[in-house]
C-alpha cells in the first residue's frame, strides 16, 4: 500500500487524511510511471551497450565463427595454390621440355574473370570484402586447376605417343655387346668376296655360330626367309616412323613373316648363310625411309654382358618368339 499523508485541520483541531482529486492522482501516477520507464530504458540501453542483447550476442558469435571458417578456408586455399603451382612448375620445367612441347601461354594460364561486379551478390554484408576476396581466390584456383588438368591430359597423350615411338625405335644392340664389332657403316675399298670397292650399309658383329639375335625395337616382321641377293637367311622388321631393321646371314630364323615382335624378342641365330658371307657374323642394318643410315648411332655398346642380359629379361615380352 502507498504511504498515507495527513494534515491538521485547524477548524476542529483534528488530523485528517489528505485526499487528492482523481486528476491529481492520475497525474501523479503518470509522472511515476514515466520516471520508472525512463529509468528502465536507461538501464536497458546501458546493459545492451555493455553486453549486447542475447540475439545480438548470438549473431556476433555466428559472425566470429564465419570469420574463423573463412580464415581456415583461406589457409587451405594457400596450400592448394602451392600444390597447383608446384604441378605447374613440373609441367613447364620437366614434362614439356622432355616431350618437346611448347609452354602454355601466360594468357591461357591467367585469363580475366570479367567485370568488377561479378560478385555483386555479396555486397551489403559486414565482411563483404572477405567473402569477395575468398571467392576470387577460389575462381583463380579453379581456373589454374582446369588449365593444369587439360595440360596433363595433353602431356599424357603426348607421353603415350612418345612411349610408343620409343618402344618402336631400334635402340639396343641386336647381340650381346661383349662380342667385337666388325666392319662398320661406310665405303670399303675392297669387298672381301667381290674384290672391288663397295659401300657397306650395315654394322657387322663378329659372333660365333648360333649366337642369339634379338629384335632391337617393337615392330612387324615384313620379310623372313632366304635372300638370294647375298644376305642368306634374313629378317626385316618394320618399326614404323620410316625405320626398318635388317638381320642377315642367320643360321636359323625364329619369327615368321607378318608377326608382331617386341624389343628383345629372339628373331634368330647368327650364322654365315648367303653368297656374300665369308664366315660366321651378323650383318645388321637400319634404313630410314628406304635409305641406309649408320646403325651404330642407335644403340649403346658400352654395357656389360650381364647388364645386357638383364635388359633383355626386363623387357618381359609375352611373345612366344623368345
- Residue-wise pLDDT tens digits, 207-258: 999 999 999 999 999 999 999 888 999 999 999 999 999 999 999 999 999 9
What SS3 class is residue 61?
Answer: helix
- Work out the percent of the chain whose per-residue pLDDT is above 70: 75
Whole-angstrom Cα distance, residue 295 to residue 87? 39
Among candidate residues 168, 202, 232, the one where a domain is terminated = 168
121 lies in the same domain as 232:
no
Residue 303 lies in a domain: yes
Would you say residue 109 has pLDDT above 80?
Answer: no
- What pLDDT does residue 45 have? 67
Tell me the pLDDT of the chain averaged across its residues: 82
> How many separate domains does the chain show?
3
CATH of the domain at 252: 2.70.70.10
254 lies in the same domain as 155:
no
Decide: 3 and 18 in contact? Cβ < 8 Å: no
Q: Which domain holds residue 31?
A: 6-51
195 lies in the same domain as 298:
yes
Element (H, E) at 23: helix 22-51
pLDDT-derived band at 94, boundaries 50, 70, 90: confident
- What pLDDT does residue 1 have? 47
Among candidate residues 110, 135, 168, the one where a domain is terminated = 168
Q: What is the largest CA-CA distance in the chain?
A: 174
81 lies in the same domain as 123:
yes
222 lies in the same domain as 293:
yes
235 lies in the same domain as 156:
no
- What pLDDT does residue 200 have? 85
32 lies in the same domain as 114:
no
Whole-angstrom Cα distance, residue 29 to residue 1? 14
192 lies in the same domain as 287:
yes
Condensed to tens digits (0 to 9), the pLDDT of residues 184-209 reads 888 776 656 666 566 888 999 999 99
Whole-angstrom Cα distance, residue 287 to residue 192? 23
Whole-angstrom Cα distance, residue 320 to residue 302? 29
Amino acid at each position: 500500500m502507498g504511504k498515507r499523508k495527513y494534515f491538521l485541520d485547524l477548524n476542529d483541531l483534528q488530523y485528517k487524511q489528505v485526499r487528492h482529486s482523481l486528476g491529481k492522482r492520475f497525474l501523479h501516477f503518470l509522472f511515476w510511471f514515466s520516471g520508472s520507464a525512463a529509468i528502465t530504458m536507461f538501464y536497458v540501453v546501458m546493459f545492451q551497450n555493455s553486453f549486447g542483447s542475447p540475439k545480438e550476442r548470438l549473431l556476433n558469435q555466428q559472425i566470429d565463427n564465419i570469420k574463423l571458417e573463412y580464415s581456415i578456408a583461406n589457409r587451405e586455399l594457400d596450400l592448394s595454390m602451392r600444390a597447383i603451382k608446384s604441378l605447374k612448375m613440373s609441367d613447364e620445367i620437366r614434362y614439356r621440355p622432355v616431350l618437346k612441347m611448347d609452354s602454355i601461354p601466360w594468357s591461357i594460364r591467367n585469363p580475366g574473370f570479367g567485370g568488377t561486379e561479378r560478385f555483386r551478390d555479396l555486397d551489403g554484408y559486414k565482411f563483404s570484402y572477405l567473402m569477395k576476396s575468398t571467392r576470387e581466390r577460389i575462381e583463380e584456383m579453379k581456373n589454374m586447376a582446369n588449365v593444369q588438368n587439360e595440360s596433363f591430359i595433353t602431356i599424357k597423350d603426348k607421353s603415350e605417343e612418345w612411349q610408343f615411338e620409343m618402344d618402336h625405335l631400334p635402340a639396343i644392340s641386336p647381340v650381346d655387346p661383349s662380342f667385337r664389332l666388325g666392319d662398320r657403316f661406310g665405303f670399303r675399298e675392297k669387298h672381301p668376296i667381290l674384290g672391288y670397292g663397295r659401300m657397306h650399309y650395315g654394322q657387322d658383329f663378329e659372333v660365333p655360330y648360333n649366337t642369339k639375335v634379338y629384335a632391337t625395337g617393337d615392330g612387324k616382321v615384313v620379310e623372313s626367309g632366304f635372300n638370294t641377293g647375298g644376305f642368306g637367311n634374313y629378317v626385316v622388321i618394320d618399326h614404323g616412323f620410316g625405320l626398318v631393321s635388317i638381320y642377315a646371314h642367320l643360321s636359323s630364323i625364329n619369327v615368321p613373316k607378318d608377326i608382331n615382335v617386341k624389343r628383345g624378342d629372339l628373331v634368330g641365330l647368327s650364322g654365315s648363310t648367303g653368297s656374300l658371307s665369308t664366315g660366321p657374323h651378323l650383318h645388321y642394318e637400319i634404313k630410314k625411309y628406304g635409305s641406309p643410315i649408320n646403325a651404330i648411332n642407335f644403340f649403346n655398346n658400352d654395357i656389360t654382358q650381364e647388364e645386357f642380359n638383364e635388359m633383355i629379361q626386363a623387357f618381359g615380352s609375352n611373345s612366344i618368339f623368345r
